[in-house]
Amino acid sequence: MNSLMERWIQTCRRELLDRTLIWNQSHLLHALREFETFYNWHRPHRALGQAAPLRPLPEPISVPAQIRYLEVRRRDRLSGALHEYRRAA
């Protein structure tokens, strides 16, 4: 378990805390909650075949016409420190 937690802390520091100015304890807790949600629901993990731990992979697009007109939307979280990308429906 130590190696898993060390890896999570390293990722949290590199992707969030090194880029964010933390004002107080409540701001830190809010930022950590947002990062945890982003990490578990959106961010792809290489060991899981680019899936997030709490959601399955989306169905692949196999029709070339759909790929040509694929629209992707970006949602910023934590004032732009984290970015989520989704296909537009």
Residues 73, 88: contact at Cβ < 8 Å?
yes
**pLDDT reported for residue 47:** 65
The parent domain of residue 21 ranges over: 2-87
| Single-letter amino acid, residue 53 | P
- Give the global pTM: 0.63
**pLDDT reported for residue 24:** 94
Q: What is the pLDDT of residues 3-48, one digit of tens each?
A: 878 888 898 899 888 888 889 999 999 999 988 888 877 777 666 6
Residue predicted with more confidence, 14 or 56: 14
Residue 74 has pLDDT above 80, yes or no: yes
Question: Which residues lie below 8 Å from residue 88, measured CB to CB, with a gap of 6+?
Answer: 71, 72, 73
**pLDDT reported for residue 36:** 86
How many domains is the chain built from? 1
3-state secondary structure of 21: coil
